[in-house]
Amino acid sequence: MKNIQWSRFLKLTIFGLLAALLLLDIGAAWVYAYALTHPGCQAPSPLPGDLPAPTVIQLSTHDDLSIEAWYYASQNGAAVLALGGMNGSLGDQLPIVAPLLLEGYGVLQIEGRGCADPPGVVTLGFEEAYDVTAGLQYLLQQEEVNANRIGIIGFSMGGVAAIRSAVRNTEISAVLAEGGYANLGIDLVESDDVTSTGFFESIFLHSVALMFWLQTGVNPWDSSPVDEIALISPRPLFLIYGEYEAANGRARLQFEAALEPKTLWIVPGGDHGSNYLVAQQEYEQSVVIFFNQALLGE
């Protein structure tokens, strides 16, 4: 009898521990995913130097969010949509737009969904791709903008949205994407394309992916630039990754999936968000040359 009671006690104890671990895993995953989907909003700061002040507008998204955008009028007939990372994209934030403005390009910086009023849920490039449509329609209404000379540049989450929006909007004639993931589901549940993930880490990361799905309504495996990137062709594509982020972002996998014309620049010594800092002059020249060739035919 004592052995039966002891066995029952052990089973209940093990069951209780497993239940506690499961609840701990779910709770931690929910908090982690919430930090991704509700990252807050970094207050914008003006661009440095003597660059012109932007026209501040409000864009209405497909799901009725009101998102702020800053428009710098075009001086050369071409314009570039600019999409930032999780915390914001206006003014002096990534992606860097000052070199384009100095070349006479019009620029429309579109704020992130987390900065909307009221704030929207950030989907790391999925819904953000559809927000671009409102910005594109605004540019097409500007008399100084040639409808055949509109490009897009995006950093991180904005890089994903740039690729996905260009697939859906053929009016976008050139795409520059920096530091985005290849597939969100894979990005969430695997460390990178060269490092294996441990058993318990894998369980937690899959829980994060599930919590992201529940919080956003977006299946993270459906947000997959690598599966769509070929559709950008024959429009030119420029991918930028830092040396220390290229594996995690599966830069070469995306480049191989894309069709010509395409360019991949892996910045020596660069990492996520620091490529411009470690190679400023080459970075500025590369961005300007890409859009000059793609939009102006130079």
Q: What is the arithmetic mean of pLDDT over 263-290?
A: 97
Out of 20-29, 90-99, 264-273, pick the least confident: 20-29
In this prediction, residue 25 carries a pLDDT of 82
How many residues does the structure list for the chain?
A: 298
Give me the chain's average pLDDT, please: 92
Q: Is residue 1 scored above 90 in pLDDT?
A: no
> Which tokens hold the place of 289?
């040359």
Q: Number of helices and strands (H, E) in the chain?
A: 10, 8
In this prediction, residue 13 carries a pLDDT of 64
Q: What is the arithmetic mean of pLDDT over 114-133?
A: 94
The span from the CA of 89 to the CA of 67, in Å, is 11
In this prediction, residue 264 carries a pLDDT of 98
In this prediction, residue 125 carries a pLDDT of 97
Query: What letter would DSSP give residue 231?
Result: G
Q: Is residue 265 scored above 70 in pLDDT?
A: yes
The span from the CA of 48 to the CA of 46, in Å, is 6
Q: What is the arithmetic mean of pLDDT over 69-82?
A: 98
In this prediction, residue 49 carries a pLDDT of 82
From 134, 124, 183, 192, select the one nearest 154 (Cα to Cα): 124
Q: What is the pLDDT of residues 178-222, one digit of tens each?
A: 999 999 999 999 865 445 567 778 889 999 999 999 999 999 999
Given a contact cutoff of 8 angstroms between Cβ atoms, the answer to whether 293 and 236 are in contact is yes
Q: Is residue 50 scored above 90 in pLDDT?
A: no
Q: What is the arithmetic mean of pLDDT over 102-106?
A: 97
pTM of the model: 0.93
Q: What is the arithmetic mean of pLDDT over 245-249?
A: 94
Complete edge-to-edge strand list for the sheet that includes strand 237-242: 55-60, 66-72, 106-110, 79-83, 150-155, 174-178, 237-242, 262-267
Q: Which domains does the chain have, with CATH numbers?
A: 54-197+217-296 (3.40.50.1820)
From 294, 46, 59, select the one nearest 175 (Cα to Cα): 294
